[in-house]
Amino acid sequence: MKAWLTALTVLLCSGLALALGGAMLALPEFAVRLPAQVTANLDTSGVSHPVTAVLLNFRGYDTLLEVAVLLLALLGVFALSRHADEHAPRATPAHPVLQTLARLLAPLMVLVAGYLLWVGAHAPGGAFQAGAVLAAAGVLLRLAGLLPAWAQPGRLLRGGLALGLLVFLAVAVAGLPQGSLLHYPVSMAGALILLVEAGLTLSIGLTLAGLYLASAGAKR
Amino acid sequence: MTPALAFDLLLIAALLWSAARALTIADVFHAVVLFIVFGLLMALAWARLGAPDIALAEAAIGAGLTGALLLDAVGHLRARQREPEQ
Amino acid sequence: MSAALLYALAGAALFAIGLAGLLLQPHLLRKILAFNILGSGAFLILVGLGQRDGIIDPVPQAMVLTGIVVAIAATALALALARQLLDLTGQMRLPEDRPDTEPADD
């Protein structure tokens, strides 16, 4: 690339940063107090941790669509990596120390994921963090050569991938007769959120692990 | 200058440095390692912003899983470059 | 100036660094890194500005949590595409960015 073009790009990007910073410093006071609104409505959300309340109750749409996006991305990765994996050799067994460590850590990580899922109702934690820990366990097992690559996921695995989205959709639609989509009755909100989060944890964990297992490590 | 402010400034400097280095360093593997460092520093920044939820997710997803994906891609790239040209 | 606003300003700088990297780096893996750094900058701006009065705001925090998961999904898909390009062409860069500009070498 020409040197003057590079210099111009750097100059323009620096200008953008300065303009953004200047705009931030010139911002007026808040017109709407979102934290106060969240606190005021926390009692009706079914959980006592505000971030979980926003994620799964007040702004459930975001989370619902996000899970769909995650699933679509995995489908894209599957579609791209399919033909290359037909003759992929079996994973070479890793060092025995790594294998032993993975065998010890994986159940512990599943336990941590369960804890994070449960604690999400009233403290930092929840489906995303729990799913991430589950996925990390999957990646670790793959690195230790204890899991095969996912060239063609079976029915059970596909069901697990879709479970979170399906449970979430079912709960969202079930509220439709009483009010609107994603409207939980106050008395059942806590239980419904836990149900949705349990499904999400499994599906997010499988999907994130699948993003690694489907493409990465398929050819080695 | 309070210790908290000093820590914030130091953390921000480290964030900007690791981001800029990850994009300019010659070797791709080094770039990925610097990016993982950047992800962990981001987790610290989220903790400083009073967002433990994001800090947890960033450490596990932003640094851990993204790092694993990127390192695997680098390995694939290197294996490909080592192959003789067809 | 609150600490949150400081982090929002850092987010603006990260956004610019990421954007410059995305535009200038021809290597696709680095473009993916740059895209992630750009996204992290946007996340910092979102949370930092939302909490600039020093009160913790769960709404932008939840949105960023969603954003991080979407970012890794996009990253994994981009890596799979880059890998496909590498398998098909042996190059980790887009055709218009290749240094050798001879037309149609295959």
The number of beta carbons lying within 10 Å of the beta carbon of residue A14 is 14
The answer as to whether C104 is a domain residue is no
CA proximity to A84, closest of C59, C39, C86, B86:
C86
Neighbours of chain B (3+ CB pairs under 8 A): A, C
Chain A residues inside the 8 Å CB shell of B57: 128-129, 132
Is A132's CB within 8 Å of B64's CB?
yes
The answer as to whether A219 is a domain residue is no
B78 is written with which tokens? 């290197």
CATH of the domain at C80: 1.10.287.3510
Average pLDDT over residues B45-57: 92
Question: Which residues contact residue B70 at a Cβ distance below 8 angstroms, ignoring those fewer than 6 apart?
Answer: B32, B35, B36, C29, C32, C33, C75, C79
- pLDDT at residue A86 is higher than 50: no
- CB A45, CB A58: distance < 8 Å: yes
Is A132's CB within 8 Å of B60's CB?
yes
Question: Which residues contact residue A65 at a Cβ distance below 8 angstroms, ignoring those fewer than 6 apart?
Answer: none
The answer as to whether A119 is a domain residue is yes
- pLDDT at residue C103 is higher than 50: no
Structural domain for C70, as ranges: 3-95
Q: Would you list the domain boundaries of chain B? A: 3-82
Ramachandran bin of C95, using left for φ above 0, alpha for ψ from -120 to 50, beta for the remaining angles:
alpha
Please, which pLDDT band fits residue B58 given cuts at 50, 70 and 90?
very high
The answer as to whether A59 is a domain residue is yes
Range of lowest pLDDT (A144-153, B74-83, C75-84)? A144-153
The answer as to whether C103 is a domain residue is no
Please, which pLDDT band fits residue C106 given cuts at 50, 70 and 90?
very low
b or e along B26-58 (b: 16 or more beta carbons within 10 Å of the residue's beta carbon)? eebeebbbbbbbbbbbbbbbbbbbbbbbbbbbb
pLDDT, averaged across chain C: 87
Please, which pLDDT band fits residue B1 given cuts at 50, 70 and 90?
confident
pLDDT value of residue B23: 93
Higher-pLDDT residue of C96, A50: A50
Within 13 Å and on the Cβ side, how many CA atoms surround B67? 19
Give the span between the Cα atoms of A171 and A165, in whole angstroms: 10
pLDDT, averaged across chain A: 84
Instruction: List the single residue in B15, B32, B58 with the smallest CB-CB distance to C14.
Output: B15
What is the phi/psi pair of residue B49, to 5°? Answer: -85, 5
Token pair 């890194």 in the structure block, residue: C33
Give the span between the Cα atoms of A61 and C11, in whole angstroms: 26
The answer as to whether A220 is a domain residue is no
Number of domains in chain C: 1
Q: How far is B85 from chain C (nearest CA, A)?
A: 9
The answer as to whether C7 is a domain residue is yes
The answer as to whether C43 is a domain residue is yes
Chain B residues inside the 8 Å CB shell of C29: 28, 31-32, 70, 73-74, 77
Give the span between the Cα atoms of A24 and A35, in whole angstroms: 20
Structural domain for A143, as ranges: 3-214
What is the phi/psi pair of residue B26, to 5°? Answer: -70, -45
Higher-pLDDT residue of B25, A121: B25
pLDDT value of residue C102: 44
Helix H or strand E segment including C69: helix C58-89
- CB C48, CB C60: distance < 8 Å: no
What are the beta bridge partners of residue C27? C93
The answer as to whether C106 is a domain residue is no
What are the beta bridge partners of residue C25? none
Cα dihedral A175, A176, A182, A183 in deg (nearest 10)? -60
- CB C13, CB B20: distance < 8 Å: no
Looking at residue B63, the DSSP 8-state letter turns out to be: I
pLDDT value of residue A115: 93
Give the span between the Cα atoms of A203 and A182, in whole angstroms: 19
